[in-house]
Amino acid sequence: MWILKFLPDWFFYVLLFIGIFGLLISKFIPSYYKTAVQATCAFFVVFGVYMAGAISNNNEWIARVKELEAKIAQAEAESSKTNTEIVEKVVVKREYYKQKGNDVIQYIDREVVKYDNTCKIPPEFIEAHNKAAVK
Amino acid sequence: MKYLLIPLVCMSMIGCSTTVPVVSKFPEPPGKLVMEKCPQLNSLNIDAKLSDVSKTVTLNYTEYYTCAVKTDAWIEWYGKQKKIYEGVVK
């Protein structure tokens, strides 16, 4: 509530107290001022009660916001930790597959090259392979 | 009783504004590696020999598995982030 930003909480409790006190002592006030005092004090009481409720509601919301902020901070830290774990896995797996590919290529260079001259690759085979490889 | 109307009218004019200033950032991706697009697969030259074919096939398989690592990483990332997010919402 915007009014709570400009005035301290105690102001409304003082207002409420003045209202109650004023209503109690209004019996002893001369009748000329009695109505005005009672009206003012009634306003103070109603407004004070209303604002006390508003303060309580506002404080509850502030507490909820703080709780949610703490949860979000914890979630962000957890998310960051999870990301680090995933990155580590990605790096390890990538290296594994690259190494595996290099091993196979070394094997090809060592063993398969022996059959290069004995095995003729038909152009249809190459065409079929390239068609499948290109997006 | 009529005096009570004045503060009630005033209060109804004050109104309430409840804003929740809590902003949650979208989770970061799991590293730069997974942000790279999967490359085009290698094709063969028309005069390719058996060893060239074998190498190209091997390279393409390697590309596939490297790319699969990224996809798996995103799947894992989504599952874990969802779990974390649901923990906050509860």
Write the pLDDT tens digit of every residue in B32-86. 889 999 999 999 999 999 999 999 999 999 999 999 999 999 999 999 999 999 8
- Tell me the average pLDDT of chain A: 91
Is the pLDDT assigned to residue A50 strictly greater than 60?
A: yes
Domain count, chain A: 1
Average pLDDT over residues A16-42: 88
Highest mean pLDDT among A52-61, B1-10, B20-29: A52-61
Residue to substitute from A111, A130, A134, interface B, most B β-carbons within 10 A: A130
Residues of chain A contacting B53 with CB distance shorter than 8 Å: 121, 125-126, 129
Confidence of residue B11 (pLDDT cuts 50, 70, 90): low
| Per-residue model confidence (pLDDT) at position A126 | 94
Beta-carbon separation of B58 and A116 below 8 A: no
Q: Which of B35, B87, B53, B12 has the alpha carbon at shortest distance from A76? A: B87
Q: Which domain holds residue A95?
A: 2-133
pTM (predicted TM-score): 0.73
Alpha-carbon span B50 to A118, nearest angstrom: 9
Q: Where are the alpha helices (DSSP H) in B1-90?
A: 2-14, 50-89
Cross-chain CB nearest to B62 (options A71, A90, A101): A101
